Amino acid sequence: MFFLESMNQVRHDILAMASQVEEDLSKAMSALRDTNEELAKEVKAADMVVNAMQLKIEDQVAILIATHQPVARHMRELVSIIKVAGNLERIGDYTVHIAKAAMKLSGEPAFRSLVRLERMAATSIEMLRASINAYLNQDAQAARIAAALDDRIDVEHKSLTEETLHLMQEHPELVKKAVRLLRTSGFLERLGDHITNICEGVIYMVESTHEELN
């Protein structure tokens, strides 16, 4: 009974960590859109909370493995939890990078390309929610569907890159801002990759197979 209660607590903590990361990403995008320094600072401060959540989850998993020696499905879930928490922490790191970029991307060319960045962020949030739901429901097919959303992020990133490179050719004076814009798009693209990694962890937990989804 203690083991099952502890597992439920860890699952709850994963959900809480994912919710924190999602909130931070939404704030980072708002800071980027509005060049809101205070909001960007909130995101940066929240990174410590996300890091603490990861350490707590990893400690809980270590204790459960050491004290209960789980096997089969439970052991795969505990291994997957470590992978999920680690990728959530990396997503949090990229969210901080986006918040920092918010202070440097005021004016052109950001106004011209923020729509694509916001679509990438919206898809990332959709992916994140779907991947965590797939974990909580132990649904491998739902994880595959969630991972497939990463294609939308990649398409937006590619289009934004092409548009921005063209803009740099036309307006060399905007090169510095354009490079920052490209870097921010890259953060969102890699963020999607980390959510895909979460989906791979779910598939391993449910089906005991290592499936490459990227």
Per-residue pLDDT tens digits of the chain, which is 214 residues long: 789 999 999 999 999 999 999 999 999 999 988 888 899 999 999 999 999 999 999 999 999 999 999 989 999 999 999 999 999 999 999 999 999 988 776 554 455 568 899 999 999 999 999 999 999 999 999 999 999 999 999 999 999 999 989 888 888 887 888 888 899 999 999 999 999 999 999 999 999 999 999 7
Query: Which pLDDT does position 62 carry in this prediction?
Result: 96
Residue 121, token pair as written in the block: 């962020």
Helix 150-170 vs helix 175-207: crossing angle, to nearest 10: 170
Question: Which DSSP helix (H) or strand (E) runs through 122?
Answer: helix 110-137
Distance (Å, whole) CA 161 – CA 182: 6
Q: pLDDT value at position 201? A: 97
User: Which long-range contacts (C-beta less than 8 Å, at least 24 apart) are formed by 107-111?
Assistant: 107/177, 108/174, 108/177, 109/164, 109/167, 109/171, 109/174, 109/177, 109/178, 109/181, 110/32, 110/177, 110/181
Domains of the chain: 2-207 (1.20.58.220)
Q: Give the integer Cα–Cα distance in Å for 25 and 83.
A: 20
pLDDT for residue 108? 47
